[in-house]
Amino acid sequence: MPAPAFIAPQHRRVCALAALTLLHAREQGYPSAVEAGKITAADAERGIYLARCIVTQWRWVLNKTKPPCPDFDDHTDLFGAYNSELAVELARAAERQRLIARRKPDDAAAMELADLYEALAWHQQTHAGVAWIVHIVDVERSAAAKALARAA
């Protein structure tokens, strides 16, 4: 299977925006889904919480002034939820959005959002105990810090 679109470093900002889109869609759509009995209030609350954690992670990815890697917490991992939870959540979101895009073949925005959610899910794959994107950014920032230290 080929790698999804939008996984190159130059697409990080658009991936972060896709994470925000996921959060906003849940904040706007989940209350009516709960009222309609499509999801439970607890599931809606958890889905919104996990989307916030994903946004927090992507804000860290984009903010080059942040340290190489945030402190690990036994209860909340690095960004408020365990990477395995975030990975499952993004895989589900990507799958749902791909189904929506297939039902609307003329809707380029729905297709692009599906591609972006797939990129988010790809970046969330676990590598060395953390999300791939976290590992990559940690390595980039650590290397940059070492280069600055050598230059000083």
Q: Give pTM, 2 decimals.
A: 0.92
Residue-level pLDDT at 37: 98
The CA distances from residue 51 to 45, 91, 142, in Å, are 10, 12, 27
Taking the C-alpha atoms of residue 148 and residue 42, their distance in angstroms, rounded to an integer, is 47
The CA distances from residue 64 to 59, 61, 87, 138, 143, in Å, are 10, 7, 23, 10, 13
Give per-residue pLDDT as tens, 14-41. 999 999 999 999 999 999 999 999 999 9
Taking the C-alpha atoms of residue 117 and residue 94, their distance in angstroms, rounded to an integer, is 5
Strand partners, 131: 126
Give per-residue pLDDT as tens, 93-124. 999 999 999 999 999 999 999 999 999 999 99
Amino acid at position 87, single letter: A
Q: How confident is the model at residue 1 (pLDDT cuts 50, 70, 90)?
A: low
Decide if pLDDT at 127 tops 90.
no
Taking the C-alpha atoms of residue 102 and residue 112, their distance in angstroms, rounded to an integer, is 11
List domains and CATH numbers for the chain: 9-145 (1.20.1440)
**Tokens 């945030």 belong to which residue?**
70
Q: State CA 28 to chain mean position distance.
A: 18
